[in-house]
């Protein structure tokens, strides 16, 4: 039996408290699996008096997480403070520089500073583990870094934000508005008081940028992602999708193309019979397409104290199992210095086509103008449906296109808008037929 692995936890919110509690509850089993005990030796939190459901009286307390990170009391620094700058960045960097292993659930930190931190970890010969940063309890990082060695990944995509998936699921199941679903998600704790980061796709984009680096050996590029959230999804879109045989999901997609790497986050219509369409509520799902294995789909809890804590503990256990002198693998699957500059792919045709919803004035010449704009941009239509809108003077027009480019669709819709025929903001959603 080896010496105890001494863990320092910075941040004792929902996840941090769950980590401490689960380490205590599963201590005997972890000791058997890892060959050594794992002990919470030190913690850092703003409020020492708060009851977190676990006895931390034996742990050394630090007011400053940076001091904890550099402390001789610990072997592993667990960063659960959050945020891409400030205490989170300073403490992780300090821990790595001091030769401490690091475990973090902070996707924003990794998306912005992952390359810098990976370089330090590799120089110091320590581990930087981050399973909990992407898709909660789903072991996608370990799968991509280790289990898929030898495979060439062509595409990775999935549902990476439980808040958005919960809202879209309820909108479809109960026929209620986006605003009402969001308010309910906030009451249940699935959405923050300020939900912008989730519903506008930023959270998904940060996670996708990490997966892109792992999949394609490129430097993390969170600012090179086409980004669109779900705040403009309406019941009209949900109903129309169902009638056409689709379900709307917020997907993050990264794929290799001849001209570079394509990264995008946006609402997507997927066939209701597809596996990804069956992922409901706060559940996450990640699909990985490779040359050898084909398609691998993993689904599971994407958020919450226990799901995230499970991933954190798995990362701590990996460190406990490692031994001095062991050569650790690179943080992002390849040495940080060998990660290639990110090359954004050129705009290309989208095989699944597009769903376009227009609310137009009920007057002569409107359909002819719409058809002309589509033809001018070389867009072929698979179907066109007209139905009554809320006002007697309006009509809703739903177009489904054949394969075309994002640029062509946006240009056509812009032209229709300039023609003055629209009475509401147009809606454009990609259709993914292969999912």
> pLDDT truncated to tens, each residue of the chain (435 aa)?
678 999 999 999 989 999 999 999 999 999 999 999 999 999 999 888 788 888 888 899 999 999 999 999 999 999 999 999 999 999 999 999 999 999 999 999 999 999 999 999 999 999 999 999 998 889 999 999 999 988 999 999 999 999 999 999 999 999 999 999 999 888 887 788 889 999 999 999 999 999 999 999 999 999 999 999 999 999 999 999 999 999 999 999 999 988 899 999 999 999 999 999 999 998 999 999 999 999 999 999 877 778 899 999 999 999 999 877 666 789 999 999 999 999 988 766 677 799 999 998 888 888 889 999 999 999 999 988 887 766 677 888 999 999 998 889 999 999 999 999 899 899 999 998 654
Buried b (16+ CB within 10 A) or exposed e, 141-175: bbbbbeebeebebebbbbbbbbbbbbbbbbbbeee
d(CA 123, CA 55): 36
- The three-class DSSP label of residue 142 is helix
Q: Find the length of the chain.
A: 435
Q: How confident is the model at residue 390, as a pLDDT?
A: 67
**For residues 82 and 125, what is the distance between their CA atoms, to the nearest angstrom?**
24
Residue 46 token pair:
């703003």
DSSP annotation of 277 reads G
Token digits for 272? 């209701």
Query: In whole angstroms, what is the distance from residue 409 CA to residue 233 CA?
Result: 18
Taking the C-alpha atoms of residue 113 and residue 218, their distance in angstroms, rounded to an integer, is: 14
Residue 39, Cα to own-chain centre: how many angstroms? Answer: 31
**HEC sequence for 175-227:** CCCHHHHHHHHHHHCCCCCCCHHHHCCHHHHHHHHHHHHHHHCECCCHHHCEE
Name the CATH superfamily housing domain 141-301: Dihydrodipicolinate Reductase; domain 2 (3.30.360.10)
Q: Which one-letter DSSP state was computed for residue 422?
A: B
Q: Where in the chain is the domain with CATH 3.40.50.720?
A: 5-137+305-336
> Do 34 and 44 meet the contact criterion of CB atoms below 8 Å apart?
no
Burial (CB count <10 Å: 0-12, 13-18, 19+), residue 291: exposed
Q: What is the DSSP string of 352-402?
A: T-EEEEEEEESSTTHHHHHHHHHHHTTPPEEEEEEEE-SSTTEEEEEEEE-
Those residues whose C-beta lies under 8 Å from the C-beta of residue 20, and which sit 6 or more positions away, are 9, 12, 40, 43, 52, 54, 56
- CATH entry 3.40.50.150 includes domain 349-431: no
Q: Cα–Cα distance between 182 and 168 in angstroms, integer?
A: 10
Domain with CATH 3.30.360.10 in the chain: 141-301
Residue 435: predicted pLDDT: 44
Which pLDDT score is estimated for 284?
95
DSSP 301-362: E-SSHHHHHHHHHHHHHHHHH--TT--PPPTTSS-GGGPBPP-BPPP-EETT-EEEEEEEES
What architecture is domain 5-137+305-336?
A: 3-Layer(aba) Sandwich (3.40)
Closest CA to 9 of 324, 309, 322, 318: 309
Q: Catalytic pick from 107, 207, 249, 395?
A: 207
Active site residue 207: yes
Distance of CA 82 to the CA centre of its chain: 15
- Tokens 């941090």 belong to residue: 16
DSSP reduced 3-state for 41: strand
DSSP 26: T
Range(s) of the chain covered by CATH 3.30.70.260: 349-431
d(Cα 136, Cα 214) in Å, to the nearest integer? 17
């Amino acid at each position: 039996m080896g010496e105890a692995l001494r863990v320092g936890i910075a941040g004792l919110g929902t996840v941090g408290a769950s980590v401490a509690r689960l380490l205590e509850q599963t201590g005997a089993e972890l000791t058997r699996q890892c060959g050594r005990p794992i002990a919470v030796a030190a913690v850092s939190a703003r409020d020492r008096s708060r009851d977190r459901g676990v006895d931390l009286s034996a742990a050394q307390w630090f007011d400053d997480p940076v001091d904890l990170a550099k402390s001789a009391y610990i072997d592993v620094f667990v960063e659960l403070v959050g945020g891409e700058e400030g205490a989170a960045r300073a403490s992780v960097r300090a821990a790595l520089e001091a030769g401490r292993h690091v475990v973090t659930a902070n996707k924003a930190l990794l998306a912005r500073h992952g390359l810098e931190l990976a370089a330090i970890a590799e120089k110091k010969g320590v581990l930087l583990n981050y399973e909990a940063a992407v898709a909660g309890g789903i072991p996608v990082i370990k799968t991509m870094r280790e289990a898929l060695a030898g495979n060439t990944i062509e595409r990775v995509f999935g549902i990476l934000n439980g808040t958005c998936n919960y809202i879209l699921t309820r909108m479809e199941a109960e026929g209620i508005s986006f605003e009402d679903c969001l308010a309910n998600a906030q009451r249940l704790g699935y959405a923050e008081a300020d939900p912008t980061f989730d519903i506008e796709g930023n959270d998904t984009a940060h996670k996708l940028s990490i997966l892109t680096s792992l999949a394609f050996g490129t430097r993390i590029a969170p600012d090179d992602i086409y980004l669109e959230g779900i705040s403009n999804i309406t019941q009209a879109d949900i109903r129309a999708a169902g009638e056409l045989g689709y379900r709307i999901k917020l997907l993050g997609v990264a794929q290799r193309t001849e001209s570079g790497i394509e990264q995008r986050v946006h609402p997507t219509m997927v066939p209701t019979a597809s596996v990804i369409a069956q992922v409901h509520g706060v559940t996450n799902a990640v699909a990985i397409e490779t040359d050898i294995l084909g398609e691998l789909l993993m689904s599971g809890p994407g958020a919450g104290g226990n799901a995230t804590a499970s991933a954190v503990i798995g990362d701590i256990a990996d460190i406990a199992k490692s031994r001095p002198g062991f050569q650790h693998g690179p943080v992002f699957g390849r040495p940080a210095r060998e990660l290639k500059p990110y090359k954004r792919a050129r705009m290309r045709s989208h095989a699944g086509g597009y769903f376009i919803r227009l609310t137009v004035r009920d007057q002569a010449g409107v359909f002819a103008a719409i058809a002309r704009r589509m033809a001018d941009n070389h867009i072929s239509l698979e179907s066109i449906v007209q139905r009554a809108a809320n006002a007697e003077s309006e009509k809703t027009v739903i177009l489904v296109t054949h394969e075309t480019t994002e640029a062509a669709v946006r240009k056509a819709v812009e032209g229709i808008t300039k023609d003055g025929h629209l009475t509401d903001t147009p809606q454009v959603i990609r259709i993914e037929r292969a999912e």
